[in-house]
Amino acid sequence: MDTMQFIIGKFNYWIYIVLMMIGFYAMIAKRNLVKKIVGMNIFQTAIILFFISTSSKKGGATIPIIQGGHGDAAGHVIDAAQYLNPLPHVLMLTAIVVMVSTFGVALALLIMIYREYRTFEEDEIYETLEVMRLKK
Amino acid sequence: MHYAVKEVQVKERYPDVTIETVCRLLIPPIQLFGLYVIAHGHYSPGGGFQGGCILGASFIMMFIAYDIGEVKRRMREKLNTILCATGVLIYAGIGILCLVLGANYLDYGILHQILPAYPAKARALGTFGIEIGVGITVMSVMISIFLNIGTAGEHEGEPE
Amino acid sequence: MKFFAFIVVLFTGALLIYGTVDMPDWGDPGSAPNSHVSPRYIEKTLEETATPNAVTSVLADYRGYDTLGETTVIFTAGVVCIMLLRRFR
């Protein structure tokens, strides 16, 4: 019973760690450069989901938009326990924008590599670099 | 650094009536929805980044359905690059305005001296101002990155 | 080579799972992220900023300086793509 409680309490972290490791494996083990970039994207997405999963609260918490906020601000007391934690959502908005930026710059670098070497496989690029180094 | 032999890429367009008509019908509601998401960032999920992405996606949809000439006819590249910087200028400019009026940088409470609102509402209006700046920047950068990567830097058929 | 990468990935994954033993349970209302800074943001967002959306008020008002840095990051990415790829004739 205690093991079941432990698994139920932690399994969200484990799922996202599995996704992170899939992206990590693609980054270090694949030979094609585009597949490495896709692996980096999977890794970043898994980290973002991992953080967002820490913001949930049991007991019927709702989204962090204060209900009844359209009218005047004064009046009822706001109970912080019935709203979700807004802080991981805010930090992950920044992380998503950084993800898009690094993806754009990585693709631009890939296009420049393609213009120079006409291939995306990294062992062919290493061979070309070796030939160019031996020629000097 | 030597460049490889440049090959001329001839891109063929396959015009399709269904795709073109659906895109022409859908793009104005998408842009309206993007502006709605930016403006209602205070009361519903949304804000500057989300609305800016939706606005950028409308131009990218036009690029996918038609070709680059249609997009460049509607959003010139020079205007796009100027808009990229204008958004960040609006954001930093509001911060400097708060500095000039006497408070800390990006402390919107002091704006109640020039806007007709009490201090809490002045903070909400300052937030709305910077969300507009963020939305403009994100839209322009999305269009710019997508067009540059999608055509590998050569926007052929420039209409100027 | 791929077998070696697989071993490294398994080892890193095991290390990370070992690290989650100390972390708070999923959905715990009394965990450390939920009880130090964010109750103040949720309770004070309506009277200090007149914005019901707590995420927007934290992003653009309480932590507005970080959002300025983030906007600069995406602006820099756009400039870098133009600089690297664009060929003017």
pLDDT digits (tens, 9 = 90+) for C47-86: 888 889 999 999 999 999 999 999 999 999 999 999 998 8
Question: A136 CB near a chain B CB, below 8 Å?
Answer: no
Residue A33 clears pLDDT 90, i.e. is over it: yes
Q: Which residue intervals of C1-89 are DSSP H helices?
A: 2-19, 32-35, 38-49, 54-57, 64-85
What is d(CA B154, CA B130) in angstroms, rounded to the nearest whole number? 33
Q: Which domain holds residue A9?
A: 2-57+81-135
> Model confidence at A75, in pLDDT bands (50, 70, 90)?
low
Number of compact structural domains in chain A: 1
Residue pair B83/B76 in contact by the 8 Å Cβ criterion: no
Residue range B92-143, pLDDT digits in tens: 999 999 999 988 898 888 899 998 888 888 999 999 999 999 999 999 999 9
Residue range B2-42, pLDDT digits in tens: 444 455 565 677 888 999 999 999 999 999 999 999 999 98
Buried b (16+ CB within 10 A) or exposed e, A55-65: bbbeeebeebb
ipTM score for this prediction: 0.87
Residue B106: inside a domain: yes
Residue A68: inside a domain: no
Residue B45: inside a domain: yes
Neighbours of A106 (CB within 10 A): 15
Q: Which domain holds residue B141?
A: 17-150
Residue B7: inside a domain: no
Q: How many residues does chain B have?
A: 160
Q: What is the mean pLDDT of chain B?
A: 87
Q: Do C59 and B144 touch (CB under 8 A)?
A: no
Interface test with C, best of B1, B90, B91 (most C CBs within 10 A): B91
**Model pTM?**
0.89
Q: Do A58 and C28 touch (CB under 8 A)?
A: yes
Q: Do B45 and A117 touch (CB under 8 A)?
A: no
Residue A73: inside a domain: no
Residue B158: inside a domain: no
